[in-house]
Chain A
């Protein structure tokens, strides 16, 4: 405050006590009087002693200036040495503090409030943790009938279990706390749990005071006797804790314990201790009471009867927990076993070609009866894959014919023989093959009199025909041959050319052998020209060359089909020797393709 006594050294006057201060003139005789007495008390004595010390110091040639210079160092030095300094100062400091508290408790409380606040908040956090803990206890260990009933209720109603516990096990919960100015009934501060809003708290506060006044008036009760302390509205109990300047009202759901009454008493006492000035000076401004929040928050307790009850609970709890754990383990194991069994049966049922007719599960073993298509996957593998124990499961599978696509395809593959490059699909009852296969395999499939069960027809049109291995050299010989031409000529037989008549013999041999396998040869002739000349001329010339070779081969082809194409100089053959390039491209080259003979198509 502004009335701090002046420090003697700064005061030029030797008698500072009678200085006509502004406080005295302002017409506050009481406080200026007090100040004078205080100064006399505190400084009168000190002043003379300080003077004495000064003279002594001067005698020792140690001026206060010099002392001031060295004092901090000296204190630090001594404090490092031992605790003597602290011991010596302690009584003085203590009495100074207690004096300060006695005279201005409010200021002192204000000063230490920043320290108190966090501590209180920590306590609240611990209380919250306590509540969460007790709910968890209820959740974890409630193998009691009651716990199961709650669980059922939670399950039926969809209300979270913790909330059901709260509903049933709630002893009491403080839902609102008001700090009300006693004289005016105005609201100083309020607190409520985050999930409960307080509408019109200021009206409630006023009404509360009015009700108390009314009761006080009506029953001629003295305020000193406490007046109205408790009243109930439905499930709510309002507990009022009066103090000289303010009252604390707590709205409680359920039956508050006596310990809570003590808590409200302590709280209102703390409020008066910490806010005594603010309370006496209150003139409608509630801002000075904002720091009261932590104290009020501390009153927002929730008590459940699942909390440990001393005595009775000590003996049975560990047993119950043990039994509960065993029971839980058994339940868990049997649930696991049942789940695994269901998974095995489901896996079997989901496998094409397997149908479970009946199944029976014992404690460790089981038995399964069903139908199995011979082409279905192995039941044992399916069981093992699903986590079942084939050793302890008796199986009996009767054969049947499945029309499940996977099984039909498996059956077809078995019946038709493996062909590595062929893939199957079932469209309706038509077996559609794709990929590629050797000519002989394809024509064998085509020629089959009977198809596997479940297959009504085959479609092999998408299967590419491979050259059977034994015909490979012959095909290669034909494919690598070139009939060469002179520049601008369409007459075969340039130097180095293959002989058309030799080619014709090879072709007719190939055709004969392919025909034996149910196919036909289609020989493609590609006519080319070298790069000189116009495109049109080259195109015409290369066509003439292809036609000329066909004319030579056709009569002796043994029934093979011959087709031609003319590329001119557009897609030249690449040669290792660039010098040979033009020569090699004045040519007709050959490509062999196998087709199915119309009789097996």
Chain B
């Protein structure tokens, strides 16, 4: 007899069609290709429409700040003539404290318009608070499913803080122990309530981030006369990179280099009960960043609107200790006390700016709020309690889950380039392995894979030949 888990998973298609608020089937072109731009445009909202919806929802229009002290700090150790100007878009100024309000505002708008009584999202991060806040304003009910505790009932303080904030905004928070069956329970709840699935990965949500890219392009033009030369984006599931890059392009910033950045958590297993509380970051890390970039359609929607390999020009990793150092530096030098995920891009930006000429402009496209639980002191105290070593030294000696090494000097902050070629190969391997046994990719598939990786059909053919040769 099928278990409860198997019974619900077998009904996944049926439950999701009702809960998603759109039909993905019309965009499918075969086992590999689908019409991405068609899917993104199907909701019919222009960038101007989205701006209007967000303005009414109290979202966006956050300040863009130049960080002159941080820039001079970097210049103090950069080669003469180097040290780009560093800017930040203070997304923590959104109501629920992060850029996730932009995503949530669109899902909530759609839920209200289509007459859903409420929304459900599976998220342990800022998105839950954003959905809860927007749902409260729209008078909709809200359930947030969170992976909160390990099997000892010990919660990552950052996630516990997220539970608190979601509840503060009137959401029902379903807290769970570690495991991917979170998705199964979300399906059960969608089935029971008939609410909209406010997925992080829907075209509604990802389109909502385009305003961030467009705003910062316009604000940089006003401030410096040109769009930024570089934008650094904290990257996990890929929506942040995708939406920001699309918005920049819409605003005409076509030559801006898109640099995604994640905290290196290599070696830690994301579904492991024991590893769960040995990490000090709950998002913006490689544990999400790499799998989602190389296989976006692992998400809770049939086709993921967040497809980061289409847009990233570089992918940098930094260590937990480097981000904590930069978090402290930002507060003390710039009067900006902000949370860890946004500061992941900030750490990468300091390293990047050091190697760029002084007239280059680097924008960190977001900050997030901080507070009890999320704060770097809180995270370091928790790491120590979990048996992770915290010490000062060379951050290159950092070992995820074992040792957090806080730099002694800013020169030690050195982001590492992740090999994009490796990500492209891994993406193509994943795409092929999802197609039926013996399926031969069509010319349309090859073009799709080239677009989805921002490479060329020739590169895709080469990768396929390589994979065939074994």
A binds B: no
